[in-house]
Structure formats: structure tokens, C-alpha cells
Structure 1
Amino acid sequence: MSSASLLASSPAPVQRLSPDALRAALSLRDLTDPAQGQHAMQTLLSDVVQAVSRAWKVPARIHRPGPVVTVEDNYDRLGFSTGDVTRDVRYSRYLSPTVMLRSHTSAAMPPVLRALNSDTDADALHVIPGLSYRRDAIDRTHVGEPHQLDLWRVGCAARMGLADLHGLLELVVHAVLPGAQWRTVRSPHPYTTLGVQLDVRVGHEWLELAEAGLVAPGILAQAGLSPNAWSGVALGMGLDRALMLRKGIQDIRLLRSADPRVAGQMQDLSPYRVVSALPSITRDLSVVVPADADEETLGDQVRETLGVQAGELESVSVLARTGPDELPEGAVRRLGLVAGQVNALLRIVIRPLTRTMTDAEANALRDRVYLAVHRGPHLELISR
């Protein structure tokens, strides 16, 4: 991979994050940071870092840079192509054509690599925990601001290879889920070679835990580090998923719950004891949306419009999508569909974590979701 391809200019985004959305993102508590209060996620993070650092006998260096990064560090210097779909404004949160909220904690590594020195950084484990910012679906396992962990062992003291990669995977699995079965599935990444997806067996299922690979020579070269002397292994893991698997938690919203019965259980890694489950309320919505809308972009629109009230939604899913050419002419007129739009059937599941919701409240919330995503000229509201 050449330096020219790594640093190809990024396409200018056409949509920027609103000031209110930026303030909301930056005010969100980082559960990995002890300075913002104790949380079980910090214990899990510490267990992983200590297991790897001690086994490899290398120092662990924790980096906590701010979430605002350059597009160059987030994408270009990590080898993403200019046409990569992840760059699209539907999935990334841009502040300007050259600055964004990081979409992964890996965005902190290009500056770290540029600062390395063979005299003082011969071999070290670089640890980058924290929030990343995406546009994502609303369901029990996804949020728009997931916690991530990047572990990069980079050095020039010894050549790292496949054995080191497998060693890292084994150490991480046994720190997160002691004794769990694990496997790897080939999964190429732009900033690694021999990239793999790490799966763990939970019950009868194989679930993704992390992705990893050897640091690509081109990534080192563009940071001024000779690939002939320097090498490394890199792993990225979702800490929300890891903690949920460790404690047996089924709903990601519980990690931030203010209910004392739940919050008290988020102070350690003991198995989660289920707090009385409240009944769910389901509403189906027929809406007009852009043809390229998906669960990730629709979920993000709902989060931005509803703010904290979005936490009362268990899921927002797309049941069906129908284009104008698949509908009777009368239905097209009734919906007001135009070119570039489709009729989508959405299902929202409402289940507040700490209270029972009345039908009237559920209908009002249904209408707020409807107004957040519907792009047709005619409205079908049920709470007015």
C-alpha cells in the first residue's frame, strides 16, 4: 500500500452534525473512564490490559485523546479507500469536511505511531479505550455511541507475526470470558494483514467478540516507521458487547440505567440478576423514507429527534420496503411517494426500563418516531 493511496483526499461531506447533536455526544459519560465514576466496564478493561501486558512483559500505555479527530487520521492514515461506504455521512458524524467525531478508537493510532521513537519505544502495548460515534440501529445490542478498545502492540525489538496474533486473541478471550471456546474467521481490514474476526461460543451460538490482525506495513511506513524494523499486532473490541457477555446482560440500555437495582450491579463483574421485566408495547408504522434509508440511518434520526426519550425504545426495525413501482397507483397517491422514496413498514418496540408506560404515552412516542423519519406530504398521527 503506497503513501499516496493512504493519504488520498477524502470526499467532502454534504451534511454536518448539528450543534445540539454535537453537545449531546460530547456530554455522554464514558463508562471506561474512572474520572467519570466507577463502572464494571473499567474492571473488565483493566483485566484485559493486565493479562496482555503481563504475559508479554511489555509496558501498557493508555491513551485517552479527545473524540474530535481529523478525517485523515480516522480514515486516510488507516488505509480506508476514498469510496469506502463507512465514510458516507449516513454512517459518520462530520463537523466539517476535514474534522469529525471518531467512528472508531483506532483513529488515535496514527498520531501515536508518528510519535514513536526506536530509542524509547522499542516494544509497548498501546491501549485506547473510549467512546466512538456512529449512526446505528436501535435494538438490544446497538447504540450510536459504543465503547471500544484498541490494543496495538508495536515495536522494533522483535519481529511480530502470526503466533503473536494468536497469542493476543487467546489472552483477550480468557480475560473477558474465562474458559470460553473461541475461533477465528478471516476478515480483512484496511490497516492490518491476515485480518480475522474473533468469535466466542456462548451457549449454542458463536458471537463476535473482536477483530484483529498484523499491523499493515503501509500503515507503519506512512507514520515514518520502517516496516523492515517495526512490526505489530492490532485488536479492536466492543466493550459494551464484551461486558454484556461477561455479565449475561441482554439489553445494552442496562449498562447506563439509573435504576438503583440495576446501577448497583454495574459496579463489578458478577452475573447480572434480572430486575422485574416490564411489558413491551409494539407499534407498526407505515412511513415514506428515502430509498437508501436503512435501520442504521433511521435509528440515528430517531435518537437525534427523541434525545433521552429514545432510551424508552427497545428496538426500531424495518419489516418491509416497497417502491412506487410495486404499489397500486392509488397507494402511491395516498402516500405522496416521489422518485427516490419508498414506503417502509417499521416496527417499534417500546419498553422503558424503570416504569410502565400508558397507551396514551406510547401513542405519543409512536408519533414522535413517525415524525422523525416520515418524509411524505401526508401525516398519519394517532395521538392527536
Structure 2
Amino acid sequence: MSVLTAEELHAALSLRDLADPAQGPHAIQLIVDSIRTELGQAWPYTEIWTRRDHPVVPLADNYDNLGYAADAVTREERYTRYASAGTVLRSHTSAMIPPALRELADSSAASDVLMICAGICYRRDSVDWQHTGTPHQLDLWRLSRNVTLGEPELEAMIATLVATVLPGQTYRTVPAVHPYTIHGRQIDVLLDDQWIEIGECGVAAPAVLRRAGLDERWTGLAMGPGLDRLLMLRKGIRDIRLLRSTDPRVAGQMLDLSAYKSVSSMPPVRRDLSLVVGPDADTSPEALGDKVRDALGADADAAELLEILGETSYDELPPAARDRLRLEPGQRNVLVRLILRPVDRTLTAAEANALRDKVYRALHEGPVLELIGG
């Protein structure tokens, strides 16, 4: 098992959690507050519990106690960041739910509770305008032993969420499977002509509730919207990196929910990379995105987009190209486009080339290096 080094863990934990008021104000917190207020009014007899746990959580609470199978692919190191053999950097705020459920099971007084868990999460993800390896998520779980909670109540909860954060927006739900829900759904909102996922939800799986010690009288609803995505759609932001920008012209607009006003954008720098990868190399956008972020380190936010243009096997490649790349049977040639554009400064050609070469070295597995930075 690959475990994060002390330096890697420190770097991850040093990143500001935009959902935490103790780390400074941010509009993401206003999204959480508005949802809390509206659901509180919709369910006036429901007690509200707000939970904020440390990002390093037991492996069992991140997976086992939420119903994930022992062989679930998401447990693999390419998707999960292990802090130790038994702990991980939470991959979702749902990791805060099992301890909250156990607390509820130990409470003799509570009978109808809305659990609100917001915070930063740590994932392997692609590089584009919607995705980041450190997203912010909100878990909303309502549990009751007084009211039977099912699909009608779930539909009302979805409608309240969208009306509160994205009033007037067109939305849909499509079936989705989660280990911690039944009747699972994905919630999408229409942006221009594209459906954008804003979260997933479902009726809380009885097995998850029973495992926490809640008996058969308890039913529940589970919802996990993405806070970055909600804020971007609310304000009209088309670049997730802007949410963390330190440019005063941008950062000042991250303190309210009014429409975002574009500031002068920096010119993009395009670099196309011809890579050699092995037969077992994972070339998914998530895997490559994670390698790019690791390679760039403190400059990770300079990467605006990583796009796979094409992939050619050894047998399909012309002999001259094989010879130039020294491609071996079983290896593949992958063409990747890297767009570099920091949100707060313009890159010089030399800086762009140096960043390009860092990405190239991280992704290329062949013996011939085609570096351009000197």
C-alpha cells in the first residue's frame, strides 16, 4: 500500500477549506447557510446537527460503514489518498456520516435530525473547468423515527435544494447507484445545452442505518451536492480555479452570491505532448490529472485543461514513428494537449516550457525524452 509522505500529508492539510468559517469567509459558506435555512423552514420540527470533522478519517468510516464492498475499485490507491494503513484523507464528506449516525443511535432524546456536514475532500480527478482534486462537498442526511422518509420526501428535498441555490434553473434526476442509498439519483442542472451534475442523493440504505445502531423505526434521506459546482452555477463562473484565486479583483467577488464579473483573463499557452506509455498505464483523465497536479506541485493551478487527443497502439503506428519514439510492442503513443493559464499572471515562454517539461516527465514512460525547456 502506498501511503502519503509526511510532506504530502502536510501539504494536503495546509490547503484552506473554503467551507470552514474558521478559515475565513467565502461564498461557499453562504451556499451552506442558505440550504440550512430553507430546509430548517421546510422541516420546522427537525433538529439540525452541524458536524465538522478532521479531514483524516478512519478507512472504515470512509468506506465500510457506508456500505462499500471490500473490493470496491474506489478503495484503490489511484483513487484514495491513504494517510496510514487504517486512515485516509476523506474522499467525500459522507465520511462524517457514520460517526454522526452512531451519535444519533446513542441519543435517547433525538427523534428527527438533519445532519449537515460540509468540507474539503481529496480525490483523483481530471483537469478541466469543472474539476479539481480537492473539491468541497456538502452532505445532508435527514433521519427520523417519527416520519417515514421515502421517495416523495426525497423529491421535495431535491426541489428545495435547487430552488434555494439555483432559482429558476431547469433540473432533472437520473437513476444512480450508491452503496449508502436505495432509489439513488443523480441531480443535473441545465447550463446552456449541457447537463451539469450538481450532486447525488437517495433514500438512506437501511443496512447503513442498522450498522450504526439505528433500529428499524429509523428511515432517512441522503444527499451530497458539490459546493464548488453549486457556487459556480449560481455566480456564472466557468473556471473552478477562480474559487481560490488570490487576485483581489476575483477574491473580493468570492464573498457574496452575486453574479461574477469577469476580470481581464490571461492568455492561454498550449503545449501538445506525444507520450509513450506502457500496456497497463492508466490514461483516464482522472489518473493523468492526478499525475499532472503532483508534477506541478505549487504550480498545479496553472494547468487549465488536460485533454487526450488520441491514442495509438504499437501495431497501428507507422514504423518511422515507432523508431523515433523507440516504441516497444505493447506500448502506446498518447497525444495530450495541455493548456496552461494561471488565473493571476501571464506565463513567459520559458516558464510555460518548464511546466510543460514537468508534466511530460511525469506522464512519459519511453526512453526518448523530447524536452523543450532546456
* Superposition TM-score tier, normalisation by shorter sequence: over 0.9
Residues 348, 80 of structure 1: alpha-carbon distance in 2 compared, 3 angstrom cutoff: same
**1:337 positional shift:** 3.9
Q: Which residue of 1 aligns with 2:18?
A: 31
3-state SS of 2:335 partner: strand
Q: Which residue of 2 aligns with 1:248?
A: 236
Q: Which residue of 2 aligns with 1:193?
A: 182
Say which of 50, 53, 56 aligns to 1:65.
Answer: 53
Between the aligned partners of 1:20 and 1:319, the Cα distance in structure 2 is 34
AA aligned to 2:221 is V
Say which of 27, 47, 56 aligns to 2:34.
Answer: 47
Say which of 76, 91, 95 aligns to 2:64.
Answer: 76
**1:331 positional shift:** 3.5
**1:141 partnered with 2:134:** no
Gaps of 5+ in 2: none
Between the aligned partners of 1:189 and 1:168, the Cα distance in structure 2 is 18
**1:99 partnered with 2:87:** yes
Further displaced range: 299-308 or 324-333: 324-333
Between the aligned partners of 1:379 and 1:299, the Cα distance in structure 2 is 20
AA aligned to 1:26 is L
Once the two structures are superposed, residues 74-127 of structure 1 have per-residue CA deviations (whole angstroms, 9 ceiling, x without a partner) of 111111122322122111111233211111110111111112145222111000
**1:329 positional shift:** 4.6
- 8 Å Cα contact 1:324-1:342 kept in structure 2: yes
- 8 Å Cα contact 1:284-1:346 kept in structure 2: yes
Between the aligned partners of 1:38 and 1:339, the Cα distance in structure 2 is 55
Between the aligned partners of 2:237 and 2:15, the Cα distance in structure 1 is 21
TM-score (norm 1): 0.92
Alignment of 1:149-228 (within 5 A): 149-226=138-215, 228=216
AA aligned to 1:366 is R
% identity of equivalent residues: 51
Say which of 261, 264, 270 aligns to 1:276.
Answer: 264
**1:231 partnered with 2:219:** yes
Once the two structures are superposed, residues 100-155 of structure 1 have per-residue CA deviations (whole angstroms, 9 ceiling, x without a partner) of 11111101111111121452221110001001101111111111000000000012
**1:334 positional shift:** 3.7
AA aligned to 1:186 is P
Say which of 82, 105, 108 aligns to 1:119.
Answer: 108
TM-score (norm 2): 0.95
Once the two structures are superposed, residues 213-251 of structure 1 have per-residue CA deviations (whole angstroms, 9 ceiling, x without a partner) of 00011111111111x211100000110000000000000
3-state SS of 1:236 partner: strand
3-state SS of 1:93 partner: coil
Gaps of 5+ in 1: 1-13
- 8 Å Cα contact 2:235-2:257 kept in structure 1: yes
Between the aligned partners of 1:33 and 1:194, the Cα distance in structure 2 is 31
AA aligned to 1:237 is P
Residues 338, 109 of structure 1: alpha-carbon distance in 2 compared, 3 angstrom cutoff: farther
Equivalenced residues, count: 370
- 8 Å Cα contact 1:160-1:232 kept in structure 2: yes
- 8 Å Cα contact 1:60-1:126 kept in structure 2: yes
- 8 Å Cα contact 2:314-2:330 kept in structure 1: no
AA aligned to 1:156 is R
Between the aligned partners of 1:40 and 1:146, the Cα distance in structure 2 is 14
**1:17 partnered with 2:7:** no
Residues 301, 20 of structure 1: alpha-carbon distance in 2 compared, 3 angstrom cutoff: farther
Between the aligned partners of 1:20 and 1:340, the Cα distance in structure 2 is 36
Between the aligned partners of 1:265 and 1:330, the Cα distance in structure 2 is 53
**1:288 positional shift:** 2.1
**1:89 partnered with 2:80:** no
**1:29 positional shift:** 0.2
- 8 Å Cα contact 2:93-2:119 kept in structure 1: yes
AA aligned to 1:64 is R
Further displaced range: 43-52 or 364-373: 364-373
3-state SS of 1:81 partner: coil
- 8 Å Cα contact 2:123-2:134 kept in structure 1: yes
Further displaced range: 371-380 or 63-72: 371-380
Between the aligned partners of 2:189 and 2:199, the Cα distance in structure 1 is 9
**1:330 positional shift:** 4.9
**1:201 positional shift:** 2.5
Q: Which residue of 2 aligns with 1:303?
A: 293
**1:45 positional shift:** 0.9
3-state SS of 2:163 partner: helix
**1:264 partnered with 2:233:** no
Once the two structures are superposed, residues 2-35 of structure 1 have per-residue CA deviations (whole angstroms, 9 ceiling, x without a partner) of xxxxxxxxxxxx3222332211110000001111
Residues 333, 85 of structure 1: alpha-carbon distance in 2 compared, 3 angstrom cutoff: farther
**1:212 positional shift:** 0.6
- 8 Å Cα contact 1:160-1:233 kept in structure 2: yes
Between the aligned partners of 1:231 and 1:274, the Cα distance in structure 2 is 45
**1:375 positional shift:** 1.9
Between the aligned partners of 1:302 and 1:340, the Cα distance in structure 2 is 24
**1:256 positional shift:** 0.5
Between the aligned partners of 2:68 and 2:332, the Cα distance in structure 1 is 31
3-state SS of 1:50 partner: helix
Residues 338, 67 of structure 1: alpha-carbon distance in 2 compared, 3 angstrom cutoff: farther
- 8 Å Cα contact 1:336-1:377 kept in structure 2: yes
Say which of 352, 369, 372 aligns to 1:379.
Answer: 369
